Structure 1
Amino acid sequence: MKHRLAALAAMLALPTTALAQNYTPPPLEAFGSMPLFSNVRISPGGGRVFALARPADAKDYRFVVFENTPQELSPIFSVEQSDEVRFRRPFWKRDDKIIFSIASSGKRYGTETVETRLFSLTPKSGKSTPLFTLNTRSARLDQQTDVPIQIQDDFVSILPNDPKNVLLEYYDEGLNSVYRVYIDDDRSHTRMLRGKEGIDDWSADGLGNIRSGRGVLYNKSIKLIVRMPDDSWKDISYRVEEGAPSFYFLGFPHDRTKAYVASSHETETEALYLYDIPSDSFIERIFHTPTSDVYDIIQQRSDGDVLGVTFAEDDGDVHWLGESFVRDVIEKVKGALPGMDVTLVNLNLTDTASTFFIEQGNIPGQYILFDHTANRLTALPSQYQALEGVPMGQTFSTMYTARDGLEIPAYVTLPPWLSSLEEAQGVPFIVLPHGGPNARTFTGFDWEVQYLVSRGYGVLEMNFRGSSGFGQQFQRAGDRQWGQAMQDDITDGAKWLIDQGYTSASNIAIMGHSYGGYAALMGAVKTPELYQCAVAHAPVTDLPRLIRYESQFIGGKYWTRRIGRLWGDRNMLQENSPALRAEDFGIPVLILHGDNDRVVNIEQSETMAARLKRANKDHKYVVLPNGSHYLDVGDNRLTFLLEADAFLKDCLGH
């Protein structure tokens, strides 16, 4: 570890002129490979570790269980996932038992779906046991349809104090009910709570007591209920009705009269409050920052009291409410790794060991295992081993003003040989709006951004209106603004680059994924004079079709109202659908889409490509085989980079 830190310090000390003269871009494979590990977790006793691991020579991730000794991690079980079947949500339940699920594609009533199947695994023997089977009546089939339960891994609680059971929620007899599920065989599930109309998400405290339910009622309004101390249910849906301040349960102490709530009833960004359930009132404001919504809380296992609050500015951060065991563990690791950004990933169930992720600026990070008892750190290899020692581009936090005066937070990342914004003059730029759109951009290593800057491009990312984390008003400013004010924010960012002298209109491309891909295509429609070309992966292209598609799913009609109403907003939706404006495209376009995407249906890109072809517009359409929405299957990430690299070189001449 000391050697790695010294290498990082030496690399960061290199003068930019030396970097510019000596820099050789890494091969695309260095960025196009998947991270080495994910889901790294330590067993309750600390003697084993599991992870999803993908070495450079592997075709896909492998589910690997290691024996964890002071000398080494040695694999004792390994199985590879496939393009069709993906591992999900693994966690240790006991030293001899791991719970995990697999996801695959399916179709119900003519609608493409994601299907999940839940298992328990005994690592020593390699035996896996399905926790849903068709051998008995109870909890094996949806009793209304006589087909297997579709989503089997929606956990309400892992029941950390119960070594033999977990709590799951799933639809049965038309309602989303909660079941206690035995993990050692496929015996009948025990229903702990019968579902209620309109509730599709149940929450529990650390003891497994079900405390609240939330959902969409008749596709018209949000329903929110909370459990009273006498076990009756109180409807407090008025707190989440349209136009009300935001209100979310973030967690529950063991005291059944209290809850922890994120709300914006007093502040622009969401603050954390202690809430009294019987009186339906706020007791005290625990934490607030004007620059970010609160995201989550860290709770004490013994009583559920809140220890820390997570929020985000340029990156994630924690506000601690006092001294605690969890804080001490984190501070101990930080002390051992000065200068590194340290994030706690997971504490094992006995609080004897933990998993951390460390990084420094835009340098690719790595996982660290910490044995609390032995006070021992074990570093796993870097997530991107082919990028070890390679200089990364620096990211600068900034702000620009949209045309209506709204301040837009943004990040500019420059090629590795440029160390300040003042040096960025005439740089070719990629405008890269994020997906979602109710998401946000953070700093830290990003494989796509670093690939782009390694090729000499600057990258502008912005948190346009509609992005999450900046308060309810900022997010709601994006309602029914697809292709309009949200697009204007992106356009104004590109113009800001030009006004600052960083680049010129003849030197900019726009690129994005999902909603970001939609924005790239709308840039090609609305402001082709501003960009030389557009790259869109898994884009939405036809808003009316998207709304009709999402309306097939629970709550879909309600949530898509923030995009628009099929009839009432029909003209607006058509005007802001790239597939319905193929004649207006004025620049070359590259479109890529996975043929197994269950988030944005590939029909969106198929329609776009067909209409561009009919309109005789310059475009290329690439289908990613077995591809999901996330460039995480097979070599699809590398294929994406190879296609984008050639396309950008051709259109920007760089």
Structure 2
Amino acid sequence: MICACIGAAFAAVAAAAPSASLGEDVDAFGRMPTLRHVSVSPSGNRVAALYRDGGAEEYSFIVFEYGDQFQMRYAGKQNEQFRVSEPHWMRDDRIVFSVRFGAMRHRTDTVETRLMSLDVETGEIIPLFDAEQRQGVAETRGSIAAPVQIQDRIVSLTRQDPDSLLVQYWNGDVYGKINHVYEVDVDRTKRHKRVHKGRDDIYDWKADELGEIRSGWGLEGGKEPRLRMLDSRGKWQDRSRRVAEDAPTFSVLGFPRAPGKAFVASAHETETAALYLYDVDSDRFEEQLFHSPVSDVYGVYQQRGTGEALGVIYAEDESLIHWFGQNFVRDAIDVMERTFPGRAVTLTDLNAEQTHAVFLVDGTNEAGSYYIFDIANRQVTALPTQYPTLEGRAMGAVVRVDYEARDGLSIPAYLTLPPGLSLTDAKDLPFVVMPHGGPTARSFAQFDWRTQFLASRGYGVLQMNFRGSSGYGEAFRKAGDRQWGQAMQDDITDGAEWLVAQGYADGDRLAIMGGSYGGYASLMGVVKTPDLYQCSVAYGAVTDLHALLRDTQRYRGGEYMTRHIGTLWSDRAMHRENSPMLRADAIKVPVLLVHGEDDRVVDVNQSRGMASALKRSGTPHRYVELPAGSHYVDVGDNRMVFLREVGSFLSECLGGPEERADSGAAADPRG
């Protein structure tokens, strides 16, 4: 085992920074996880990752060699503005990665990405797009070059050529915003060779395991879905009827080696989306390969080079795999599961030569660690644990429950209980109801730093997958269409009332808390049911639906992406009725608002406006703006600031451990 020496060497990478006096719970759960984006080089001798120790202000992008001796090959720190993501090994001496940052184009906030290449031997980093490549008709006709906005939409990096990859981007077409596919050299900054001509109605191209472009999805006029697929003769066929708004679920997951075939998820004959082998030539489903009655399929494990389907990913309370026979990936997972019995084993990376894999091993009440697995030698190497200060600490049990909504729909949910309690022991607890974000997403039974923090403070937590959540089939998801603040909100209310009826929760000590859509639901909860909750916590929350639609529809495809919320003008009365900012006078309990200053998903003005509305209505509230904060509470020490504010607020609202400290965050004077 070399975990200790790796951990000691890692600790020297990031400059130490003194920790504020935050209290044991905040300090333990508020630290960012130690590692992210762990991947192994083709030879298996080198590992790349984002690493952050307990005292560092930000992650460092590191590359190290491991084995009998440890050697750091590269270490560079990101900052609060420029965020490194998705490093990909091309060769043992070359890594391609993306840098993300916020910017503005045409007076509109944007997220920009730059595709970079690292020479591991020398530490030199070069951009993979040259200065002549620019995006936008207006910019190309002007005197100032505007670089391609999104440079990291990689279509294929599993090609046999380790010196290049395929990237799709728009490069200033005069007659439209067309995504072509280009071959990008990973060793130098140069002009790119176009290898696939795009179309103005196709936004995203998919390639097979050898890098051949086989399908494309997009929108006609920004509204009507389009799907084009390559048949066995090399001709493109229009299969848009398969993805029409009123058609059953149909999505392309991958391609076998055989031309004119595809692996697709479809719900044309089942309630949940099943996996099929689909024939493009005849527009026919050849064979149903797998179906779960309780879960949509999420993806397919395929053999690199051949495209053979090894297994299919689906979910119950956690992610699961159905295997199509024995194979080396299944063998590796079996070894890891025997090594770590009773814990969740998740494959997160497999190197290009398929000799080494990275696994995350965790549990519902265990933060876990990453492990490198040498497949041939059956050797497991541990990396530093994700939350060192949680080692040996008792966590809350996570229990699957189901309750019935008022119209009879069964709602799956998870209870997280204070450490040491079982469901039979849970009586009259203070509870936090926590709807998830999205809303087209879902909660799983897994380690969650927010719920375990709350459990450590003595609160129970209820997370429900209300109608509109993904993964439970088409009917369940569509039941949430145009139901923001309505049927989806009723499901959340019914869950809170169920807690009290079951005796788990004290009806006089209920709070509601969430982020993004969950933050919206937390505010609507105290608008629609002012006597149910004692307080509300909303972070990164949507508060004005009309403003959300107006702002989102400024972006390409925005009207289509917000269709489940409603239309901008014909539904404006519904949106006024279901916008917390416009209903602030109905809120009678204290509210904590938290928002990242540089949130590029939900504009910070949504919370600033809500704070102003609460002030006008005389509602007790506090508004905290996280400096340089993103939508994901992952910049600097923002997570600690957030938990400290939540812990203090809930202590006042529901009772609990007494602890207050100056957060150092920017509290809006309007609050």
Pairing partner for 1:87 from 80, 84, 89: 84
For 1:628, the equivalent position in structure 2 comes to: 630
1:181 partner amino acid: V
Please state how far the C-alpha of 1:593 moved relative to its aligned partner.
Answer: 0.4
| Equivalences for residues 41-60 of structure 1 within 5 A | 41-60=39-58
The root-mean-square deviation of aligned C-alpha atoms, in Å, is 1.5
CA–CA separation in structure 2 for the residues paired with 1:44 and 1:219:
40
Aligned partners of 1:474 and 1:2: how far apart in 2? 47
Residue 164 of structure 2 corresponds to residue 165 of structure 1: yes
Q: Are 2:101 and 1:99 equivalent residues in the alignment?
A: no
In the other structure, the counterpart of 2:325 is: 322
For residues 552 and 78 of structure 1, the distance between their equivalents in structure 2, rounded to whole angstroms, comes to: 39
Aligned to 1:120: 117
Deviations 1:299-340 (A, max 9, x none): 011310111000011000100011112111221222233333
Residue 31 in structure 1 maps to residue 34 in structure 2 = no
> Which of 246, 251, 263 is the matching residue for 2:266?
263
Post-superposition Cα deviations, 1:77-111, rounded to whole Å, max 9, x if no partner, equal: 10110001000111100000000011111001011
| Distance of 2:500 and 2:342 partners within structure 1 | 35
Per-residue CA deviation, residues 20-59 of structure 1 (Å, 9 max, x unaligned), is xxxxx94311100000001111110111111100001111
State the 1:297 CA deviation: 0.4
Alignment partners' CA distance in 2, 1:339 and 1:535: 34
Aligned to 2:503: 501
* Counterpart position of 1:347: 350
Alignment partner, residue 13 of structure 1: none
Cα contact 1:159–1:165 (8 A) shared by 2: no
Which amino acid in structure 2 is aligned with residue 145 of structure 1? E
What residue in structure 1 maps to residue 279 of structure 2?
Answer: 276
Write the deviation string for residues 165-221 of structure 1: whole angstroms up to 9, x where unpaired.
100011121211111111110121011112212211110001000011101211221
> Using a 3 Å threshold, how does the CA distance of structure 1 residues 482 and 362 change in structure 2: closer, same or farther?
same
CA distance in structure 2 between the partners assigned to 1:433 and 1:526 by the alignment: 15
TM-score, normalised by the number of residues in structure 2: 0.92
Residue range with higher mean Cα deviation, 166-175 or 537-546: 166-175
SS of the residue 2:424 aligns to: helix
- % identical aligned pairs: 52
Q: Report what 1:18 is aligned to.
A: none
Amino acid in structure 2 at the alignment position of 1:251? G
Q: 2 CA distance for matches of 1:343 and 1:653? A: 38
Q: Structure 1, unaligned stretches of length 5 or more?
A: 5-24
Instruction: Tell me what 1:218 maps to.
Output: 221
Do 2:25 and 2:453's aligned partners in 1 also have CA atoms closer than 8 Å?
A: no
Name the amino acid aligned to 2:650: L
Contact in 1 for aligned 2:135/2:170 (Cα 8 Å): no
Secondary structure in structure 2 of the residue aligned to 1:188: coil
| Deviating 4+ runs (over 6 angstroms) | 1-4
Q: Kindly indicate whether the alpha-carbon contact (under 8 Å) linking 1:309 and 1:318 is maintained by their aligned counterparts in 2.
A: yes
**Cα shift readout 1:478-497 (whole Å, capped 9, x = no counterpart):** 00000000000000000000
Pairing 1:330-369 to 2, within 5 Å after superposition: 330-369=333-372
Distance 1:47 1:595 in 2: 40
More deviation in 158-167 or 139-148?
139-148
Equivalent pairs counted in the alignment come to 629
**Displacement of 1:144 after TM fit?**
5.4
Mapping for residues 156-305 of structure 1, pairs under 5 Å: 156-172=155-171, 173=173, 174-305=177-308
- Tell me, in whole angstroms, the C-alpha distance in 1 between the residues paired with 2:409 and 2:433: 19
In the superposition, the TM-score normalised over structure 1's length comes to 0.94
> What amino acid is aligned across from residue 219 of structure 1 in structure 2?
G
Residue in 1 aligned with 2:152? 153
Q: Which residue of structure 2 lines up, in the alignment, with residue 19 of structure 1?
A: none
- Tell whether the 8 Å contact from 2:2 to 2:382 is kept in structure 1 after alignment: no
1:361 offset after TM fit, Å?
3.5
Q: Secondary structure of 1:265's match?
A: coil
Distance 1:144 1:223, change over 3 A: farther
8 A Cα contact 2:3 2:383, kept in partner? no
Is residue 294–residue 311 contact of structure 1 (8 Å, CA) maintained in 2? yes
Whether the 8 Å contact between 1:505 and 1:529 is mirrored in structure 2 is: no
Q: Shift of the alpha carbon at 1:233?
A: 1.2
Paired with 1:485 and 1:399, the residues of 2 have a C-alpha distance of 17
* Distance in 2 between residues matched to 1:562 and 1:550, nearest whole Å: 13
Alignment-derived partner of residue 381 in structure 2: 378
**SS across alignment from 1:444:** coil
Q: Any conservation in 2 of the 1:46–1:68 contact (CA below 8 Å)?
A: no
In structure 2, the CA distance between the partners of 1:126 and 1:3, relative to structure 1 (3 Å rule), is closer
Tell me which residue corresponds to 1:63.
Answer: 61
Residues in 1 aligned to 2:135 and 2:582: alpha-carbon distance in whole angstroms = 42
**Alpha-carbon separation, structure 2, partners of 1:340 and 1:614:** 50
Match of 2:484 in 1: 482
Corresponding residue for residue 462 of structure 2: 460
> 2:541 touches 2:602 (CA, 8 Å); kept in 1?
yes
CA contact (8 A) 1:366 1:379 kept: yes
Letter in 2 for 1:70: D
**Cα distance in structure 2, aligned partners of 1:141 and 1:165:** 22
1:382-424: per-residue Cα shift (whole Å, max 9, x none)? 10000000010001101000000100000011001202x1211
Displacement of 1:74 after TM fit?
A: 2.9
Offset of residue 626 of structure 1? 0.3
Give a deviation string over 1:127-164, Cα, whole Å, max 9, x none: 01110121xx4x44545533110000001111341111
Between the aligned partners of 2:237 and 2:225, the Cα distance in structure 1 is 14
The Cα offsets for residues 605-633 of structure 1, whole Å up to 9 and x where unpaired, read as 11111111111111110100000000010
Deviation at 1:531, TM superposition (A): 0.3
Paired residue secondary structure (1:292): coil
